[in-house]
Amino acid sequence: MYKIRLLLLCILCYSLMNAQNNIHFTQYYNAPMTLNPALTGQFNDAFRATAIMRQQWSGLSTLSSSEYLMKTASGSFETSLLKRRLGIGLCILNDETGSSIFNSYRGYFSLAYAQNFGDNYLSIGVQPMFNLSSLDRTKLDFGKIDESNFNDNVSYFDLNAGINYHHDFGFFLADFGASATHLLQPKEQFSKVPTKERIPMFYKAYATFKDWEIVNKLELHPGIFVGFQANTTNIVYGSNISYKLFEVKGQASKIYLGLWGRSNRTNVESIIGLFGIGFGKTTFMASYDYNTTFATREQYVTGRTNTFEFSIVHTFTPKVKPPLLEDNFIFNPRF
């Protein structure tokens, strides 16, 4: 237990002064509103609902079976208006460290505007964000440090923005985009001692491809994501492959397998396996990160450093359409 407390303090030490958590998902393509606000409302249906959860570094020998070091969960709901030119969405996210020692709650409101060029389009998006972070001091041993010098709660407003280009190549679809988080560079300071430190901007770039048919019923979905924040670099790359099982009323059911990698600037940090299944307009995916670096550092903790990620994506159009979705109404989300 001493080692795990020491590790948690190392992870939280910088956060206690200026919390600057870098939110990221392995399945970045299944969390569009945390990836890029320009993706809001850009899909072939009336509504899209997504949920994704990442549970990182569970199964360590110094933790109980139900504990983890980090957990991030997010849910979003979005739609489009004006023949898919205007996307509107709401996203809620909770980032938790050390079994609720540190919690960050975020709410995102996204707006995106898209300009169509035939089957292709260019979209830009903005995303006001409110963040509330809390620290449970009862779960930490500060030693000789006066814990009264720390705040229990910190909040701030922020702004994110991005751009995305979608292109239909005929035999596959592609998205190329870039976004920036923490444009206002607010302070998130738990320490009552004033500092000039601010949250550094988080820059993201990606290219994703889907529905690339190799042979009958077999498709590739490769991609790459690159993120930069301060001195940290996060790169995710690889591909999913899908096989069409059957089709009912025009809706295909597929099975997915994937192999991905995660790297920093110099080292491969994780090898990632993925399994998923799609039933029509609903897709479930689960991935496992095998960490190739942290698990070998037994001077901190021992164990497998398990990291799991689960996602659900569902798109739909109501059978009884609201007035805003009728074909003869000016706000038509379809082409």
Instruction: Share the mean pLDDT of the chain.
Output: 83
Q: What is the DSSP letter of 81?
A: E
Q: Half-sphere exposure of residue 289, counting CA atoms within 13 Å on the CB side?
A: 27
Please check the confidence at residue 82 and state whether its pLDDT lies above 70: yes
User: Does residue 325 belong to any structural domain of this protein?
Assistant: no
Query: In a 3-state reduction of DSSP, which class is residue 11?
Result: helix
Total domains present in the chain: 1
**pLDDT beyond 50 at 71:** yes
| Residue 124, both tokens | 């830009």
Residue 44's domain comprises: 2-320
Q: Report the percent of the chain where pLDDT is more than 70.
A: 78
Q: What is the pLDDT of residue 137?
A: 72
How buried is 276 (Cβ within 10 angstroms: 0-12 exposed, 13-18 middle, 19+ buried)?
A: buried
Segment (H or E) for 32: helix 32-35
Among 15-24, 151-160, 186-195, which range has the highest average pLDDT?
151-160
Name the token pair of 199: 């949250």
In a domain, 331, yes or no: no
Candidate from 98-112, 194-208, 230-244, 302-316 with smallest mean pLDDT: 302-316
Residue 20 has pLDDT above 60, yes or no: no
Separation CA 31–CA 208 (nearest Å): 13
The predicted pLDDT at position 97 comes to 81
**Contact at 8 Å (CB) between 111 and 120?**
no
Least confident of 66-80, 100-114, 258-272, 300-314: 300-314
**What pLDDT does residue 4 have?**
46
Task: State the virtual CA torsion across 227, 38, 278, 241 in degrees, nearest 10.
Answer: -50
Positive or negative: CA dihedral 252, 239, 263, 127: negative
| Contact (Cβ atoms closer than 8 angstroms) between residue 285 and residue 30 | yes
DSSP-based three-state secondary structure for 215: strand
pLDDT band at 329 (very low <50, low <70, confident <90, very high): very low
Which pLDDT does position 2 carry in this prediction? Answer: 44
Q: What is the DSSP string of 226-263?
A: EEEETTEEEEEEEEEEEEEEEEETTEEEEEEEEEEEEE
Q: Domain containing 280 — which CATH number?
A: 2.40.160.40
Q: Is residue 328 assigned to a domain?
A: no
Answer whether residue 17 shows pLDDT above 80. Answer: no
Give the contacts of 310 (CB within 8 A, at least 6 positions apart).
Answer: 52, 53, 284, 285, 286
User: Do the domain assignments include residue 139?
Assistant: yes
Return the number of other C-beta atoms located less than 10 Å from residue 5's C-beta. 14
Please report whether residue 45 resides in a domain.
yes
Task: Kindly tell me if the per-residue pLDDT of 197 is higher than 90.
Answer: no
Q: What is the mean pLDDT of residues 131-151?
A: 73
Q: Which of 144-153, 261-270, 299-308 has the lowest mean pLDDT?
A: 299-308
User: Which two tokens mark 204?
Assistant: 């993201």
Write down the pLDDT at residue 150.
75
What was the pLDDT predicted at 100?
Answer: 72
The highest-confidence range among 239-243, 299-303, 329-333, by mean pLDDT, is 239-243
- Residue 109 above 90 pLDDT? yes
- Whether 233 is covered by a domain: the verdict is yes
**Closest by CA position to 127, among listed 98, 87, 95, 84:** 87
